[in-house]
Amino acid sequence: LKRFSGRSKLSTFVDFPLQELNLERYAADDSRSDSSNFKYNLHGTVNHFGSIYHGHYVAVCKHAKQQKWHKYDDE
């Protein structure tokens, strides 16, 4: 996803499903024989807070067995 324009950070809200995100329409026509290859589930994110020159990163990841989300922040 494009998050910067020049030296400015974009603040565009991005909304998508956490389960079964289908990206088939973005695939090349000759690779669409199995549509299940284009479905994705979200397992983690990384968020940046600050400017293009400095800032702080925070990750959020889903535990595979517990199915709980955990925040990883070294603040």
Q: Among candidates 51, 71, 42, which has minimal Cα distance to 59?
A: 71
Listed in order, strand segments (DSSP E) in the chain are 4-5, 8-9, 21-22, 39-40, 44-50, 55-62, 69-72
**pLDDT value at residue 44:** 96
pLDDT tens figures, 13-54: 888 899 999 988 888 877 666 666 889 999 999 988 888 788
Coil, strand or helix at 72: strand
pLDDT tens figures, 6-21: 888 888 888 889 999 9
- Measured between alpha carbons, how far is 36 from 39 in angstroms, rounded to an integer? 6
Domain residue ranges in the chain: 4-72
- Residue whose token pair is 């809200």: 13
Q: Work out the average pLDDT over 57-70.
A: 95
What predicted TM-score, i.e. pTM, was given to this entire model? 0.66
